[in-house]
Amino acid sequence: MDIEQIQTAARIINQGGLVAFPTETVYGLGANALNPLAVAKIFELKERPSFDPLIVHIASIGDLNTLTDNVGRNVIRLAEKFWPGPLTIVLPKSKLVPDIVTSGLNTVGIRMPDNDIALKLIMAANCPIAAPSANKFGKLSPVSAEHVKKQLPNVDYVLDGGHTSVGIESTIVSIEGNVSTLLRPGIITLADIENALPNMFIFNAAKPRKLIAPGLLKSHYSPLKPLYILDNQVFHFSESSGLIVHGRKDLILPESKIIYTSQSYNQLEIAANLFSALHIMEDDECIKQIFIEPVAEVGLGVAIMDRIKKAAYKYQQKTNY
Ligand code: TXA
Ligand code: MG
């Protein structure tokens, strides 16, 4: 990536435009977080409901002081341990953060991405960058520049950083006083957070009573064609079936298209390749339905199954396989 592309992108951000850029997790659709009109364009282009708040991306831990009112010791501990990296921390917001960014909430989600292009963009633009994943609301997350262009062809500029390395969205935790809540599972697990904050109460909001993060909706990240999780039911595969597996070798189904996210159930590989596999199946006109093997819900498997279940949710009621 040459510096001129980053400078062009930074200029577009400063002029109130939208730039899609890589992070280590998924591509983001970025705007100047301090410019409400620019942020409004994100909601418009993504067709995102206005009640769904955005994550603000920063390039230095010091920026926490301007975006939030109260940066406690626990926050600094988390930031120093996991940033730059796939962790979003939800904190009480300062007056500087426009309400449109947080959908009117008095908290703001902040993270420092572990991606050189993203960090250089934030530094060149010299402002925090609000960015959701660069896809249409509810659809598959983008892990390459091509995925972004497929769903958002009208974005002002795309910085192409190749395939992202982590492949699923950041872990989200909120911190309020002595209480921390896991709002979205990710590659940084609940156990990682507990180890970093031994003196805190940490809740797992996997089954929230009220909607605190739309990433917690039951249906999200969905492909445009039916997706079914392979369980113990009988499935009828045909030549129009696509199959996504993670190491399973006993499936000899020559009529089906098979994609391996991993050869050996390596969870990091599965996470990195999950959305790409779904995009390939979505784009293949011969494939009419997709089947996916589940993974064990331990460690990073919790976050992987979170994405798989949400992607399959709206199709699971149907019985005519
Ligand atoms: O890895 C990621 O987090 C990617 C990259 C681009 O950084 N971003 C991402 O953004 O996944 P998005 O908008 O697709 O998902 C952000 C989630 C949403 O479910 C939103 O509701 C939640 O974060 N969120 C943001 N601010 C929040 C807040 N103040 N309180 C609770 N949830 C919040
Ligand atoms: Mg998203």
Q: Is this model's pTM higher than 0.95 or not?
A: no
Region 9-36: what's the mean pLDDT? 98
179 pLDDT tier (thresholds 50, 70, 90): confident
Ligand 1 atom, smallest distance to 133 CA = 14
Ligand 1 near 54 CB (within 6 A)? yes
178 pLDDT tier (thresholds 50, 70, 90): confident
Q: Which residue has its alpha carbon closest to ligand 1 atom 22?
A: 213
pLDDT at 102: 96
Q: How far apart are CA 164 and CA 184, in angstroms?
A: 19
Ligand 1 near 299 CB (within 6 A)? no
With a cut of 60, say whether residue 210 has pLDDT above it: no
Ligand 1 atom, smallest distance to 108 CA = 29
pLDDT at 219: 75
Percent of the chain with pLDDT over 90: 78
281 pLDDT tier (thresholds 50, 70, 90): very high
With a cut of 70, say whether residue 252 has pLDDT above it: no
Q: How far apart are CA 58 and CA 134, in angstroms?
A: 17
pLDDT at 208: 47
Q: For residue 234, what are its two tokens?
A: 């009988």
With a cut of 80, say whether residue 30 has pLDDT above it: yes
Q: How far apart are CA 319 and CA 66, in angstroms?
A: 52
Identify the structural domains of the chain with CATH numbers, from first to last. 3-204 (3.90.870.10), 227-315 (3.40.50.11030)
Percent of the chain with pLDDT over 70: 92
Ligand 1 near 185 CB (within 6 A)? no
209 pLDDT tier (thresholds 50, 70, 90): very low
Ligand 1 near 52 CB (within 6 A)? yes
C-beta atoms surrounding 307 within 10 Å: 24
237 pLDDT tier (thresholds 50, 70, 90): confident
175 pLDDT tier (thresholds 50, 70, 90): very high
Beta bridge partners of 29: 20
Ligand 1 near 170 CB (within 6 A)? yes
CA of residue 55 to ligand 1 center, whole Å: 5
pLDDT at 217: 67
pLDDT at 220: 81
pLDDT at 320: 41
